[in-house]
Structures are given as structure tokens and as C-alpha cells.
Amino acid sequence: MKNLKIAGIIHCKNDWALCAVSISYALLNHVDEVFVFNQGSSDATAEGLEHLRQYWGNRLHVFHIPDQNVEQSIVANTMIQIAAQVKPDWVYVFDADEFLLLGDGLQSTRLHDFLATVPSSQRAVRYTLKNFISMHDFDECDLQHYRRLRFVSVPHSEYNPKNASQTMYSGEKTFFDFEFPSKIICRYSHFLKLNTGAHTATHFGGGANAERNEPMLFAAHLPMLTRSRLDKRAEHGKKLMDLGNPWYAGWQQQLVYRLQQEDRLDWFWSQHSIDSKMSEQATRQKAKTDDCLVRALESTLGLLEHIFESTQLHHFRGRPIQSQAANETHLPLSQVLALTGVFQRQTEISLAALQRK
């Protein structure tokens, strides 16, 4: 049986510590190589990724561009085609706040073994998200804090952006009350186009929806890890509004920006985090306890402590990691031509399909 190759793809911007954990976790457990797209980070991302690249070698590929308005789906699909150089069988596009688990969360089954069981007729597999609620004082750079992520939300409302936005604004409900959309892992193809958020995909050769739901495959999701992340979301929300986007385009970011303008982000954070002083009964009302993520992360946290010789990801072997922007990565002309050819062919097929309707 052929050994499957899985390429992981991640887009990051000022997410250094969380990216370090999620990238290392993916490489240690699920993927053969990771392609990182660093978009205009001004924190420790550039230097930190270089330290990781020196450890992981040719399993980690890092690309930098300056900060500019680029749609998430454009980033993902460009990186999917760049990943073609390693000839992957599957592509897994993940976020920095996402950790894939299988079965009981003890990593008893690798993603490679799991995908080997998927029939060749299936173009994608679908997995659910379990939202974890963070601690009020969580520090992303402190590896010890990841061992405290034991609280899983219990959603009881169907996902609907308009209803979610309105009820979260009023305080009637929180983000964690809603069951959020599942995501997909896709077979690689030149004719694959992943849609925003990796929730759906289009295959220009047809059969885009040939997928199956996998009850034993899910991701631990950390959507609101720290109070400072809310300020980042608000900044993104402002950009979306300034560009004239409708309310539903990045509605979460636009909502957070609206709350920031009303000086309500501290209140919002208290609604979406667990305080160590909170009573046990109040904690149970927000979430149930589950150690699956803590157990799954243990080997990754230990590895990072070894690589950095510290439990603090703002230091590397006793020296502070510098915050700085990276120089833009330049692709060989041959690779640019290959990318252009793929996207041109996708466009031609798409236009031909429209004309047939």
C-alpha cells in the first residue's frame, strides 16, 4: 500500500506562540510537511518560525509577504498549489487555533492511517469543531497554560450568523452557545478550490461534494484564547467595515469591533472566558471538563520546551525572540508560471461550466 503524504497549510498574522504550538502539533502527529503563509506579522513570528524551521528542516516551508488586504481563500488556494511541489495526496488547511484529534483524543490513530481507509471516490472528509473555553488570565507564550485547557463548550443553538450576532451583542447568548460549521480535509488536485474557512470546496472536475462526515474526527478549537485577541479581531472588523463589506462578511470581527467602540470588550471577554475564582457551579454552567486536548498536546509541549529550552515562547535558549517584520519571500519565475497556469485553467473550466447552464 502506498504511503500517503499529507500537506498542512496555515495562514498566520501576529500569532507567534499559538502558531508554534499548532504547527509543531500538526507535524508531530498528522502531516508530513507544513506550508506557512506569514502575512505581515510584526511580532516574534518571523524569528520564531526560523527557529522552528531549523528544527524541522525540509518539513517546514515558510513564506512571508507584507501586510495587505488578501482574502483568506486566495491565500489558502495559492498555498495549496505551492504545496504541489511535494506531491501530496491530501491537503489539510488549518488555523493556528485548531488541533485535530481522532478517536478518544489520545492520538492512538494517526491521520495517515485514518485517511488510508477513505474510499478513492471520496474527495474530502468532514470533521466537527469542539470549542474550548479559555482561562481569563491565559498567556499564549507560557506553555504551562496550555495544560489548563480543559473546558469544552456545550452548544445548544443552531448556527445562524444573524441570530448569533444579535444575541451575542445583547448578552443573551455567547459564541459558545452555537454549534459552528464543520470543516473539510481534501484530496489534493490542481482543480481543487477551497472556499473561505475551509468549510466547503469546489472541484472543477466535478464531484466537489463527494465527502463523508467522520464522527471520530474532530478539532479542538480555541476561538477566543486571550483578551488581546479580541483587539486583533476588532482591528480586522474595522478593516472589513471600512472596505464596505456587508455585515455577514466576517460578522464575528465586525461584532467585536462594534463592541470595542462601545467600550464593552472587557464585558465580552468575561462572558467568553473562565475565571479561576469562578465557583465550580458557575464553571459547570459554562462548560464541561474534558482532558482530551491536554493529553493530546503533552508531547508537543514537551518538544517545544526541549527546542526552546524554556516554557516561555518569547525566549529561545535564554535569549528574547525579537519582534520584527520579515522580508517578502520571492518565488522562482517557473513556480509563478506554474501557479498562473493552474489558476487560468480553473477559470476556463469554471467559465465553460457557466456557459453550459
Number of domains, the chain: 2
Same-domain pairing of 41 and 75: yes
Same-domain pairing of 124 and 205: yes
Virtual torsion, Cα 20, 21, 22, 27, nearest 10 deg: 90
pLDDT digits over 187-216, tens only? 999 889 998 888 988 887 665 455 767 778
Return the pLDDT at 106.
Answer: 42
pLDDT digits over 260-308, tens only? 999 999 999 999 999 988 777 667 778 899 999 999 999 999 999 999 9
82 within domain boundaries: yes
Same-domain pairing of 152 and 219: yes
43 DSSP 8-state letter:
S
Same-domain pairing of 191 and 79: yes
Return the pLDDT at 346.
Answer: 87
Residue range(s) defining the domain that contains residue 110: 6-224+276-356
Selection from 103, 111, 84 nearest residue 25 by Cα: 111
Higher pLDDT, 209 or 140: 140
Selection from 253, 289, 236, 282 nearest residue 168 by Cα: 253
Same-domain pairing of 73 and 140: yes
Angle formed by the axes of helices 45-56 and 16-29, to 10°? 20
Distance of alpha carbon 148 from alpha carbon 273, whole angstroms: 12
Tell whether the model's pLDDT for residue 230 goes beyond 90: yes
Q: What is the mean pLDDT of residues 91-108?
A: 81
Same-domain pairing of 85 and 165: yes
CATH code of the domain covering residue 130: 3.90.550
Return the pLDDT at 357.
Answer: 67
The three three-digit cell numbers of residue 193, written as one number:
478550490
Residues above pLDDT 70, as percent of the chain = 95
Same-domain pairing of 122 and 138: yes
1 within domain boundaries: no
Name the pTM for this structure.
0.93
Q: Of all helices (H) and strands (E), which one includes residue 100?
A: strand 98-102
Same-domain pairing of 44 and 96: yes
177, 345 contact by CB (below 8 A)? no
58, 164 contact by CB (below 8 A)? no
Same-domain pairing of 311 and 256: no
26, 53 contact by CB (below 8 A)? no
Distance of alpha carbon 180 from alpha carbon 293, whole angstroms: 19
335 within domain boundaries: yes
Return the pLDDT at 205.
Answer: 65
The three three-digit cell numbers of residue 125, written as one number:
472528509
Same-domain pairing of 235 and 87: no
**Among candidate residues 271, 306, 329, the one where a domain is terminated:** 271
64, 329 contact by CB (below 8 A)? yes
95 within domain boundaries: yes
